[in-house]
Amino acid sequence: MSAYIIKTNNVSKKFKKAYAIKNLSMSVRKNSVYGLLGPNGAGKSTLLKMITGIIRPTSGQILFDDHPWTRKDLRNIGSLIESPPLYENLTAFENLKVRATLLGIETDKCNDVLQRMDLMHTKNKKASEFSLGMKQRLGIALALLGSPKLLLLDEPTNGLDPFGIEELRQMIRTFAASGISVIVSSHILSEVQQVADDIGIIYNGSLLYQDEVDANDDLEQLFMDIVRREREA
Ligand SMILES: Nc1ncnc2c1ncn2[C@@H]1O[C@H](COP(=O)(O)OP(=O)(O)O)[C@@H](O)[C@H]1O
Ligand SMILES: [Mg+2]
């Protein structure tokens, strides 16, 4: 069995003439949190969209759990990319119920994921009445419905207050502890440092760095050095 839930081998994505992702090889360990770091426009969303099949790589290969990625693997991948796909006029529970029905998942599971995301008390509130943080959490609850092995969270802390960010961080750690691998992207270095086991730094569509991270690393400095070196090259 592979130690990696996702491996990309020299993956590229070209839009019209420009490459958004260039020969990118990334390895995401099972049951870990992988922090994908990079400034706006670096290619984070494009990379995550290729892993969820929203867009196809122009070249290269994506391996899911050691086999070439196919659409069947989407059963094991939950994602929240850009903003959560909610029906504003439906309640939290109804939003989940709609997705559960589509996927053939039992209603009980809707309550499980509400509980897990600490939304039980707002189960019957309409999504339109939710704060941004609650919407993000409902978006993650939707992503968890299918009991994924891999969860992709694209800049999930955007728009959250410090309290919401801390709560989300703790939730992300519980996912990894319960056997869900997580890829979380961010343009905020300090945020990822506190939650990730490994980080990848993406810049101009290239992965410039990938390694384990610990609390003592000076990510700001590392990031600046790597980007400066790339610009000079
Ligand atoms: N559908 C698209 N068509 C053309 N260019 C795109 C498209 N999606 C993304 N891009 C370009 O690809 C690059 C990477 O974008 P993106 O993956 O959204 O970056 P990030 O998520 O890191 O901010 C940007 O230059 C962006 O303009
Ligand atoms: Mg993005």
* pTM of structure: 0.94
CA dist 230 and 233 (Å) reads: 5
Pocket of ligand 1 (CB under 6 A): 15, 20, 38, 40-46
Distance between alpha carbon 125 and the CA centroid of its chain, in Å? 26
Which ligand has the shortest distance to the CA of 19?
1
- Ligand 2 center–CA 124 separation, angstroms: 31
CA dist 87 and 94 (Å) reads: 9
205 CA closest ligand 1 atom index:
14
Tens digits of per-residue pLDDT, 155-213?
998 878 888 888 889 999 999 999 999 999 998 888 888 899 999 999 999 999 999 98
What is the largest distance, in Å, between two alpha-carbon atoms of the chain? 55
Q: What angle do CA 19, 140, 20 make, to 5 degrees?
A: 5
Tens digits of per-residue pLDDT, 120-155?
999 999 999 998 888 999 999 999 999 999 999 999
- With cut-offs at 50, 70 and 90, classify the pLDDT of residue 44: very high
- Ligand 2 center–CA 108 separation, angstroms: 33
DSSP labels, 136-181 = HHHHHHHHHTT--SEEEEESTTTT--HHHHHHHHHHHHHHHHTT-E
